[in-house]
A = this chain, B = another copy of it.
Amino acid sequence: MKIEEIQKKLAVFAEEREWDQFHSPKNISMALAVEAGELLELFQWMTESDSMLATSDSKLRGRIEEEIADIQIYLLRLADKLSVDVESAVNRKIESNAQKYPIEKAKGRSTKYTEL
What is A's interface to B at a CB cutoff of 8 Å? 1-3, 6, 9-10, 13, 16-19, 21-22, 24-27, 29-34, 36-49, 51-52, 54-55, 61, 64-66, 68-73, 75, 78-79, 81-84, 86-87, 89-94, 97-98, 101, 103, 106-108, 110
Contacts and interface: CB of A to CB of B under 8 A. Distances in A.
Chain A interface secondary structure, helix, strand, loop or mixed?
A: helix
A13 to B, nearest CB: 7
A72 B89 contact: yes
A103 B17 contact: yes
Given A17-B103, A27-B45, A94-B10, A86 B68 contact: yes
B55 A103 contact: no
